Amino acid sequence: MTTPTDTCTPALLDRLAAAERLWLFLDYDGTLADFAATPEYVEPDPDVVGLVARLAASERIRVAVISGRRLDHVQKLLPVPGILLAGAYGVELQTPTGDRIDRVPYSTIRPTLDLIKPRWEKLIAGREGFFLEDKGWALALHARFADDVTAQRVLVAANRIVSQTPSLKTGRFRLLGGHKFMEIGPSLGNKGLAVEYILENAPWPDALPVYLGDDDKDEEAFRVVKGRGGVAIVIANAPRATAADCRLASPQAARWWLERVLARFEET
Ligand SMILES: [Mg+2]
């Protein structure tokens, strides 16, 4: 199901097939699966689960899924043994053997979020089109269904609330922006830092790191993977500025491409 907008060449597949091993880093929403109607939707997609399970079963492939969602949601979406799962952009991890790692003490993060949460709740109370997602490690304010003018006004006010919170000056937190979106969470919640952490703590000699992702948080990881001689692929339906090597048009195209990688590995 290749489309004219896909720019990943057969030569790239050859490069992957020639690798002894692949360390495969995958984003979830917008990369493996289409965006859910709401962030609270956590029904596993059988196509995604099946594909990830088959990738993970290859002795030459290790899989890590790195999501901005909370880890318990990622666990529900991908009930696949033997893979590494990272939630909150890599703050909370589940290792392939099922151990849980929190890279920051929860107690250093949550009290600040508990100061911000009621103020954000009050800000959006009674307004159409807003949704406050409590990820435990982070708070995300979604304004996707609000009108543009109101969304802009509310996000400016939400930003002001954050900047008035004294612990924000410790460097322990980062504020993420986006289209009709704002999120406050730990500074270590960074997919680039997550990939570095995984590669350093779970080294796999001669493995080629490959990262597939769709948004600006993934771009941070693209740069890390590229810096280590790896391959970055952006999932986007139109050309855009990116550090990635090439582009696949949709999660369907990404899944199809991963099937081809698997097929090449199985034949060699
Ligand atoms: Mg995504």
* Confidence check: pLDDT of 203 > 70: yes
Distance from the alpha carbon of residue 120 to the mean position of ligand 1, in angstroms: 24
Q: How many CB atoms lie within 10 A of CB 26?
A: 24
Type and span of the H or E element at 185: strand 181-186
Instruction: Please report the pLDDT score of residue 244 as a whole number.
Output: 96
Instruction: Please report the pLDDT score of residue 4 as a whole number.
Output: 47
Distance from the alpha carbon of residue 90 to the mean position of ligand 1, in angstroms: 13
Confidence of residue 170 (pLDDT cuts 50, 70, 90): confident
Distance from the alpha carbon of residue 215 to the mean position of ligand 1, in angstroms: 6
Distance from the alpha carbon of residue 234 to the mean position of ligand 1, in angstroms: 10
Distance from the alpha carbon of residue 29 to the mean position of ligand 1, in angstroms: 4
* Confidence check: pLDDT of 3 > 50: no
Distance from the alpha carbon of residue 140 to the mean position of ligand 1, in angstroms: 14
10-103+189-267: CATH class: alpha beta
Helical H runs in the chain? Answer: 10-18, 46-57, 71-77, 110-124, 148-163, 191-201, 216-227, 251-267
Instruction: Please report the pLDDT score of residue 115 as a whole number.
Output: 95
* Confidence check: pLDDT of 76 > 50: yes
For the chain, give the percent of residues with pLDDT over 90.
Answer: 88
For the chain, give the percent of residues with pLDDT over 70.
Answer: 98
From CA 114, how far away is CA 30, in angstroms rounded? 29
Distance from the alpha carbon of residue 164 to the mean position of ligand 1, in angstroms: 30
Instruction: Please report the pLDDT score of residue 5 as a whole number.
Output: 60
* Confidence check: pLDDT of 38 > 90: no
Instruction: Please report the pLDDT score of residue 169 as a whole number.
Output: 77
Instruction: Please report the pLDDT score of residue 268 as a whole number.
Output: 67
Distance from the alpha carbon of residue 36 to the mean position of ligand 1, in angstroms: 11
- The CB-side HSE value for 130 (13 A sphere, CA atoms) comes to 22
Instruction: Please report the pLDDT score of residue 2 as a whole number.
Output: 44
* Confidence check: pLDDT of 232 > 50: yes
Token pair in block for residue 103: 């890279």
SS3 103: coil
Cut 0.85: pTM above it: yes
From CA 70, how far away is CA 186, in angstroms rounded? 13
Confidence of residue 179 (pLDDT cuts 50, 70, 90): confident
Q: Which residue shows structure tokens 């289409």?
A: 34
* Confidence check: pLDDT of 42 > 90: no
101-134 pLDDT tens trace: 999 999 999 999 999 999 999 999 999 999 999 9
* Confidence check: pLDDT of 1 > 60: no
Distance from the alpha carbon of residue 214 to the mean position of ligand 1, in angstroms: 5
Distance from the alpha carbon of residue 267 to the mean position of ligand 1, in angstroms: 30
184-199 pLDDT tens trace: 999 999 999 999 999 9
Distance from the alpha carbon of residue 268 to the mean position of ligand 1, in angstroms: 31
Distance from the alpha carbon of residue 30 to the mean position of ligand 1, in angstroms: 4
Instruction: Show the CA angle centred on residue 122, arms to residues 121 and 125, nearest 5°.
Output: 85
Distance from the alpha carbon of residue 189 to the mean position of ligand 1, in angstroms: 14
Distance from the alpha carbon of residue 222 to the mean position of ligand 1, in angstroms: 13
Average pLDDT, the chain: 94
Distance from the alpha carbon of residue 124 to the mean position of ligand 1, in angstroms: 25
* Confidence check: pLDDT of 26 > 90: yes
140-167 pLDDT tens trace: 999 999 999 999 999 999 999 999 988 8
Distance from the alpha carbon of residue 183 to the mean position of ligand 1, in angstroms: 14
The phi, psi pair for 79, rounded to 5°, reads -80, 65
The CATH classification of domain 106-186, taken from the options 3.30.1490, 3.40.50, 3.30.70, 1.20.120 = 3.30.70
The residues with which 209 forms a beta bridge, in sequence order, are: 23
Map out the domains of the chain as residue ranges.
Answer: 10-103+189-267, 106-186
